[in-house]
Amino acid sequence: MKYCSKCGNSLYDDMLFCQKCGTKVVKEGYDEIASDVRKLKNYNLVLDPEKITSKYLNSDGTRASDITEKQREMSEEVVVLIKKILSELENNKNDAMERDVYTYVLKYSKKMCDMAAVYLLNTAEFKEFFDLGVKLVNAGGIPARRGWEENIQYDFIYKVLGFNQIRYATKIAGTLQPDVIYNNLEYQKINIDLVESYVRATKAFWERFEGFHVPMDKKFYEELSDGYYNISEGVPQKEIEGFSGNLWSKMLDLASEGDRNSQFYREMEEREESISKERQKKDILIADKKYWDKYPLEHKEFIKKETELKNTEENSANTYKKILETEKIKAPYEESKRQLSSKKREIKSDMEKLHKKVFGKKKAEEEIASLEEEMKEIEITLVENEKRIQEHTETISARWKERGELESQKEEIEKEMHELRNKQ
């Protein structure tokens, strides 16, 4: 199958002109891409649990390792091939070919995740043994560790094959460009389905560990969480918010053995919070761009308001800074007033005592005269302090009023910006 270089219409190999738009068929470039796409679709990494059963795997000692190694080799070849196709499409733009590659890779990765869930939990052979083991552990019939060890012996290969389906689906889907998916609603919808399948497979993997009450290896958690963030990069956060529930929190508890103060737990939690914030920021930026493309005149006005808001915020901040500076200048005068008022009360008390003296009246009168002079100096200083305090209080009051007006202006500008950003 070939594609028209102008309109993307599919063409038979022997066609010389496009039946839809009449453009002459150019063989160079597109033929090679079409050949690579056909080669991509010939790969089969999805394992069939109806055929590859535990009995089939255990009947040959090397069969399981051969399948695992072959899957690894093929997944690497597929990744290289997809990268080659995408590189070729950059030089030979063709919307129909791009669509064919993106939709196929996303759907195929989803199929791998769906099969991973089957391998990890829902296979008939294993489920009976698994459920029996869980009942025995919960009933205290066997220790959790023993139940887990017996489960590993019985189902180690199935677990490896199931986990590899998730791993390789992540690597294959991860070769696609997130921004291309983000800007194409069709790709985005398929990617959302892929994320949902990935979460379902991851949950099945977690339930193996949780069911036997044993810790999950940290490397499993890291690889699964990395995979989730990789395959969901092309999807808005709001579209997949409810898919995981508290799955990642439960898995992190399991991987850190319930120690939320451990370095591993804190590092993972901080990393995930950082990624989430970056994704939300990206969603907002993209949503803003789409909105302003629709309302260019409002966008110009919005930019003006942004500048106005920034200046108002700076003026408000500077006014508050001046208030604090004036409070700092005013403080020593208030402290001096407090100390002098205390000293004044002491002098007054001393003078009252001296006035009551019966003996040594002359000396007492001399001391009273001295205290009266000191009292006059204190009064003068207190008046001066009060004057300075009043001046600074009035300045502070005026600046608080000024700041209040600026804050009101800020609220009004923000309201106007909100209206510009939310036109119906």
- Residue 301: count of CB within 10 angstroms of its CB: 13
Q: How far is CA 329 from CA 336, 384, 399, 408, in A?
A: 12, 14, 15, 28
How confident is residue 124, by pLDDT bands cut at 50, 70 and 90?
A: low
The yes-or-no verdict on residue 142 having pLDDT over 90 is no
C-alpha span between 9 and 25 (Å, rounded): 11
**What would the two tokens of residue 295 be?**
């309302």
Q: Is the model's pLDDT at 126 over the cut of 70?
A: no
What whole-number percentage of the chain has pLDDT above 90?
50
Provide mean pLDDT across the span 70-95.
91
* Cα–chain center distance at 390: 52
Element containing residue 3 per DSSP (H, E) = strand 2-3
> What mean pLDDT do residues 93-118 have?
91
Domain ranges of the chain: 43-260, 306-421
Name the residue with higher pLDDT: 375 or 241: 375
CA distances to 71, 147, 148 from 254, in Å: 29, 17, 15
CA distances from 364 to 352, 361, 368 (A): 11, 5, 6
What pTM was computed for the model?
0.65
d(CA 283, CA 277): 10
Q: Where are the alpha helices (DSSP H) in 43-62?
A: 54-58
User: What's residue 360's pLDDT?
Assistant: 80
Mean pLDDT, residues 159-168: 85
Q: What is the pLDDT of residues 358-395, one digit of tens each?
A: 778 888 888 889 999 999 999 999 999 999 999 999 99
| Distance of alpha carbon 181 from alpha carbon 179, whole angstroms | 5
Phi-psi region for residue 105, left (φ > 0), alpha (ψ -120 to 50) or beta? alpha
DSSP state of 11: E
Binned at pLDDT 50, 70 and 90, residue 401 comes out as very high
Confidence at residue 357, expressed as pLDDT on a 0 to 100 scale: 80
Instruction: Say which DSSP state 24 is in.
Output: B
- Least confident span in 155-169, 228-242, 338-352: 155-169
Furthest CA-CA distance within the chain: 136
| Angle at 7 (CA atoms; ends 5, 9), nearest 5 degrees | 90
Give dist(CA 121, CA 125) in Å, integer.
Answer: 10
